[in-house]
Structure 1
């Protein structure tokens, strides 16, 4: 089949927007690749979203005008999107006029294409909301686009942008949205491994409109420790799909590996070969015309998995499963030798820098582990091997960037066990702390035990009927959490907050690295005040709506929801029960107390909260 008619990139991720230089560098490639639309939708541009009614200040408008001219010169169409859905008053003519005026400002600056986005807004009364959103688009087309001489169909992102079925929202939208509007759709879910022709047919029927796939590939705003450098996979085309816009990573230059393959797929989906496309993308992006840049190949291979939940590095997994330790060591040695070459573009080397460093540390630790597991160190002094592995492990755990981290940590654990080291308990002399987790404790859980042990406590993984304090991690089962809820001992948690009665609701927003102290005089604040950076890079933050009796020590600066809350013994919890002992919630999430993630300030806050609970 022929290629899709509408092809491009959407800068629609959460987190730091691309720089002007990043965008220009992409435009230099995009037109020639055929990804000749650039949808401007950075969530961190306040005039695009929160302050959509306000005109751009002169300097920001001039920058957008320069960006539009640069895109035109390179054969790329800049599509300006506006996202008014957070607080638009649909029955207020003034808001419709403000929307038109905002876009007229951009039109006067030379931008000729526009999109309306209603993604990620609250959805109450969905059928009514769908009708209102469609009516906004129809009025926008009638009162702004057509009088401006813009005759292209409205490009529209609905609130209900993922999924295949006809929903109340989509029924309402169908009644009012212009018939020729193009609907942005992410697939069967928000981030997907596959898009099939059946998915497309069902979704197109559900909307009653042609679709443009907003492909959340290779976006990494949901896990800033990772990069996705592999090819687009698992995509089909079909009737009803007229275009694609790929949502790239926060790191613009590394995104090119994946975006080059998106361009190949969009040009001819039926002939697309992911492996061949990946090879061509590598040569084009890494500047490897003569094999000179082969030092990045192993890193790219180790970071090519998609979707995000897929096995990270299957070649390593296969070698380890078969106990082919020489093969595993060869792969890991390539990782340890990762290095940009003289032909690697400067921006690519700089933006991949944290992952290059992590690759070296991961590879070095993995090679040492394979030597132990393969018996090549038999006869050597075990104490020397333990020291070498422990040193390599500390270097690996110091890296925020994630390159095959979990697989190599498992290898190191296995090698240390072979050498007789089992680190599930740290003995101190103080209070007994039981860290409740799952059957496969996260590295952050193990680090937490060690940290508490170094702080003078008797900490260990797993339950203990004599525990002075329980910590419920996200890895614990709900059954374990409910059992812990009734125990008359202090409890700290960042998982299962609602079943524990510690919150009426909880969530895990993405791409955050700091909290705001709300009660600097509270002992759990550790003497800190104001905004405190708790993660070494952007990651997930557990937020909660705490019981009324909780003291909110810190909150999320963006949503205002609690991230550290302490509820005294005898107070009423969120579920109406009475706290049998002091309770506290904490901001950690899936990675928990991972050493590559938490800052010294986060460690101080956790220790202060633990000590406050213990009294």
Structure 2
């Protein structure tokens, strides 16, 4: 059984970093899943990025020591990374001394693996003295990285360095990457996120191209299940898919960038662990279902799967939740055949089942439940909206009855209020599927009541 050499995660997202207890929890989980690497690189740790010149205070050093100890117990290497690129003067001997001093301080407490990151910074030299000394950004960064690795190896011959380039996604054949490949010490691992920042696929051709350009196997920084920045409304709890089973040929490993939601991120990490430990025998759906059962238990498993299918939108599945779309499309198909009875009864049954699931989902493990509370709350709201829309159609079908008009008006009023509330929803639960269905129902019945359409 072939497995990737480097398997794990990189805490590399923007926003609130994990707590110390979160990291200890995750390191233990990684060990259980036969993952072997955790990289510390939270963008909003000031000592990691904006205030990189300042040494960590004593309480941080204590926490780092505990992380190293926890990792040693479960076979997980703890990698400490620094991201100085926003303000670093590459040509300055003083700046280089500050870098060495900070790396030495972290080496002293027990780190053996390190990261030097130049992601999300200007893609050209910005200091006059750097432009005078270096002909390109790649040469400047390679100089710094080689100096740091040489310094670390003087103190510890087993020291390792992971490098994140400024150009970390794309076609993989640029002059910048070619220069890095030529200039960087061959012992340095180079990160790559794939064709995109958050890549829908990690395919063999792209991996082959970039590995040939950088003259070594590529180390993937997989931006999934991370949901920072504009992705915050999304909940990335779908299967781990679209990663080529032959990537081992050109890749030394994959590190996933998780969400700030620690427990919730374990679904993707559990799945990825199965892929990374045995890619050729990996079954995405089977791994996903096992991950959910591991996290929530057998009693809540099926209800959670249905909830997860309503939250499928991500870089891996960049389209509306298929589970809900299929239900609405089936409803419309029956309606087109004038089979109102089957269309309404089956759709009411479908959404009533999802509403019934809410009582089961209320029994989720507490930490997980708190993390996903905004999505659960709006899931409930959307199900109410869907059932209300169906109620309108039931009353519309029976419009000839004496009180049907009043019932229809009342149901439309409630639906309108739900749709107005949805304008302020904070998550992307259910995508746009129920919203579009409900809006269509509201509009289509407006004429018959001589009302102004909702939009």
Q: Name 2:306's counterpart in structure 1.
A: 298
Does 125-134 or 47-56 show the bigger shift? 125-134
More helix by share: 2
Q: 1:169 is matched with which residue: 159, 164, 176? A: 176
Q: 2:426 is matched with which residue: 400, 405, 424? A: 400
Question: d(CA) in 2 for partners of 1:238 and 1:308?
Answer: 20
Does 15-24 or 150-159 show the bigger shift? 150-159
Question: d(CA) in 2 for partners of 1:423 and 1:300?
Answer: 36
Question: d(CA) in 2 for partners of 1:26 and 1:211?
Answer: 25
Deviations 1:62-108 (A, max 9, x none): 22222332333333221000011111111212212211211221222
Q: 2:253 is matched with which residue: 243, 256, 260? A: 243
User: How far is 1:174 from its partner?
Assistant: 2.3
Matches within 5 A, 1:5-404: 5-124=5-124, 128-144=136-152, 146-151=153-158, 153-221=160-228, 222-236=230-244, 237-286=247-296, 288-289=297-298, 291-307=299-315, 310-322=318-330, 323=332, 325=343, 326-336=345-355, 337-339=357-359, 344-373=364-393, 378-379=398-399, 380-381=404-405, 382-404=408-430
Deviations 1:130-169 (A, max 9, x none): 111111111111112x122242542111001102232121
CA pair 295-149 structure 1, distance change in 2 beyond 3 A: same
User: How far is 1:296 from its partner?
Assistant: 2.4
Q: TM-score scaled to structure 1, two decimals?
A: 0.65
User: How far is 1:224 from its partner?
Assistant: 1.0
Structure 1 contact 119–161 (Cα < 8 Å) conserved = yes
User: How far is 1:342 from its partner?
Assistant: 7.7
CA pair 333-77 structure 1, distance change in 2 beyond 3 A: farther
Q: Name 1:551's counterpart in structure 2.
A: none
Does 301-310 or 210-219 show the bigger shift? 301-310
CA pair 346-75 structure 1, distance change in 2 beyond 3 A: farther
More strand by share: 1
Partner-residue secondary structure (3-state), 1:213: strand
Structure 2 contact 149–159 (Cα < 8 Å) conserved = no
Partner-residue secondary structure (3-state), 1:66: helix
Question: d(CA) in 1 for partners of 2:71 and 2:359?
Answer: 32
User: How far is 1:43 from its partner?
Assistant: 0.4
Question: d(CA) in 2 for partners of 1:155 and 1:77?
Answer: 13
Structure 1 contact 335–362 (Cα < 8 Å) conserved = no
User: How far is 1:307 from its partner?
Assistant: 2.1
CA RMSD of aligned residues (A): 2.3
Q: TM-score scaled to structure 2, two decimals?
A: 0.87
Structure 2 contact 118–166 (Cα < 8 Å) conserved = yes
Structure 1 contact 372–378 (Cα < 8 Å) conserved = no
CA pair 364-342 structure 1, distance change in 2 beyond 3 A: closer
Unpaired runs of at least 5, structure 2: 126-133, 335-342
Question: d(CA) in 2 for partners of 1:359 and 1:343?
Answer: 16
* Structure of greater relative contact order (alpha carbons < 8 Å, 6+ residues apart): 2
Deviations 1:26-71 (A, max 9, x none): 1221101122211111000010011111101222222222233233
**What is the count of residue pairs matched by the alignment?**
423
CA pair 282-235 structure 1, distance change in 2 beyond 3 A: same
User: How far is 1:375 from its partner?
Assistant: 6.6
Matches within 5 A, 1:549-564: none
Question: d(CA) in 2 for partners of 1:374 and 1:232?
Answer: 40
Structure 2 contact 172–206 (Cα < 8 Å) conserved = no
Deviations 1:313-360 (A, max 9, x none): 112212222315455444433443434558632210110111111110
User: How far is 1:402 from its partner?
Assistant: 2.2
Matches within 5 A, 1:590-601: none
User: How far is 1:179 from its partner?
Assistant: 1.6
Question: d(CA) in 1 for partners of 2:172 and 2:195?
Answer: 9
CA pair 152-2 structure 1, distance change in 2 beyond 3 A: farther
Question: d(CA) in 1 for partners of 2:110 and 2:359?
Answer: 42
User: How far is 1:424 from its partner?
Assistant: 6.4
Does 293-302 or 259-268 show the bigger shift? 293-302
CA pair 312-374 structure 1, distance change in 2 beyond 3 A: farther
